[in-house]
Amino acid sequence: MTDARTTVPELKLNDGNAIPQLGFGVFRVDPAEATRVVSDAFEVGYRHIDTAAIYRNEEGVGAAIASSGIRRDELFITTKLWNSDQTHASEALKTSLDKLGLDHVDLYLIHWPHPKGGHALEAWQSLIELQQQGLATSIGVSNFRIQDLEQVIAETGVTPAVNQVELHVEFQQRELKAFHAEHGIATEAWYPLGGGEVSTAPALLEVAKAHGVTPAQAILRWHLQTGNVVIPKSSRKERMAENFDVFGFELNDAELAALAAVDRGEAGRRGGHPDEL
C-alpha cells in the first residue's frame, strides 16, 4: 500500500501546523459499521479522519485507530463540537476524546455557528483555551458565514485555522473562499462530490473522459488543485480506493476554467444552511 504520508500533500495552517489535504469523512457512517469502514480507509492509505460528536460514531473510529497499529503522529483526527454543547465545550471535547481513545485531537471544530443559540463566540473562546491546554492541536470552525468569522476574529484576535463548509463544483463558495484567503483560513470541503449527487455537467464529463477517470475523481482533483482540503466518504472499500487515486493526473488551466464555470452559486447548495442550523 502506498504510504499516505508521501502521497497526500499537506497544507500549512495559520497556526503553523499542517493538515493532509485529502482525508476521509464518516458523516452518516452507521456507528455499527464505523470500525470496519475506518479500518478499510486506513488500509487504502488514508491517515486523515474526520468525525463529529453528532455522528455518534466516534467510538467506532477510536476502535479502528486502536487496532490499526498506525503511530499516533501519522494520523490526523478531527472531531466537532455540536450546537447544544457550545456552552460547555471543554466537557464535550473530553467526552469525544474518551470515545476516540485519544489524549488530543489534531483539529477541533465548532460544527455550526447556530445563530439561534447565540453562543458561537463563547464556544470559540473555549476552543482557544482547549488548544492552549493541548487537547486540540489546531482549532477551527465549520459552516461559518463571513459575519461569523468576522465576529470571532474581532472579539478574540484568534483566527480559525480551518472553516469546513459545503463546497463542490456546483457550489464553489467564491466569496467565502476569498475571505478565507485574505485571512489565512484553510477551506475544507464537505459534500465535496455533491452529497451523493455527483454533477453531470457536460464540462465535468468531458474533463473526466479526457483523463480516463471518473467524474468523482475529476472533482476531487479539482478540489486539490484549487487549494481545498477535501474529505470524501464511502462505506465501500473499492470506492475509497478510487477516491484516493487522484494523484496520477493533473487538470490544465483550461479544464480548471471549465469546471469553474459549472458553479451555480447558491442554487447549487444541497446541504443545510448555516442560518437555520
Secondary structure string (H, E, C) spanning the chain: CCCHHHHCCEEECCCCCEEECECEECCCCCCCCHHHHHHHHHHHCCCEEECCHHHCCHHHHHHHHHHHCCCHHHCEEEEEECHHHCCCHHHHHHHHHHHHCCCCEEEEEECCCCCCCCCHHHHHHHHHHHHHCCCEEEEEEECCCHHHHHHHHHHHCCCCCEEEEECECCECCHHHHHHHHHHCCEEEEECCCCCCCCCCCHHHHHHHHHHCCCHHHHHHHHHHHCCCEECCCCCCHHHHHHHHCCCCCCCCHHHHHHHHCCCCHHHHCCCCCCCCC
Distance of CA 170 to the CA centre of its chain: 18
* Contact (CB, 8 A) for 116 and 274: no
Q: What is the dihedral of CA 39, 44, 47, 51, to 10 degrees?
A: -50
The confidence score (pLDDT) of residue 195 equals 85
The cell numbers describing 68, all together, are: 490499526
Regions of the chain with pLDDT less than 70: 1-6
What is the reported pTM?
0.96
* Contact (CB, 8 A) for 48 and 230: no
The pLDDT tens digits of the residues spanning 154-207 come to 999 999 999 999 999 999 999 999 999 999 999 999 999 998 789 999 999 999
- Give the span between the Cα atoms of 194 and 171, in whole angstroms: 8
* Contact (CB, 8 A) for 231 and 23: yes
The confidence score (pLDDT) of residue 2 equals 43
The cell numbers describing 130, all together, are: 482547549
Is-catalytic flag, 108?
no
Cβ neighbors of 159 (< 8 A, separation 6 or more) are 14, 153, 183, 184, 185
Beta-carbon neighbour count of residue 87 at 10 Å? 12
Q: Which residues pair with 18 in a beta bridge?
A: 12
* Contact (CB, 8 A) for 176 and 274: no
The cell numbers describing 49, all together, are: 479522519
The confidence score (pLDDT) of residue 7 equals 79
* Contact (CB, 8 A) for 127 and 108: yes
Radius of gyration of the chain (CA): 18
- What structural domains does the chain harbor? 4-197+227-234 (3.20.20.100)
The confidence score (pLDDT) of residue 57 equals 98
Catalytic position from the list 46, 55, 108, 191: 55
The candidate with the shortest Cα–Cα distance to 89, out of 142, 52, 117, 129, is 129
Strand 18-20 and strand 10-12: pairing?
antiparallel
The pLDDT tens digits of the residues spanning 235-248 come to 999 999 999 999 99
The confidence score (pLDDT) of residue 196 equals 78
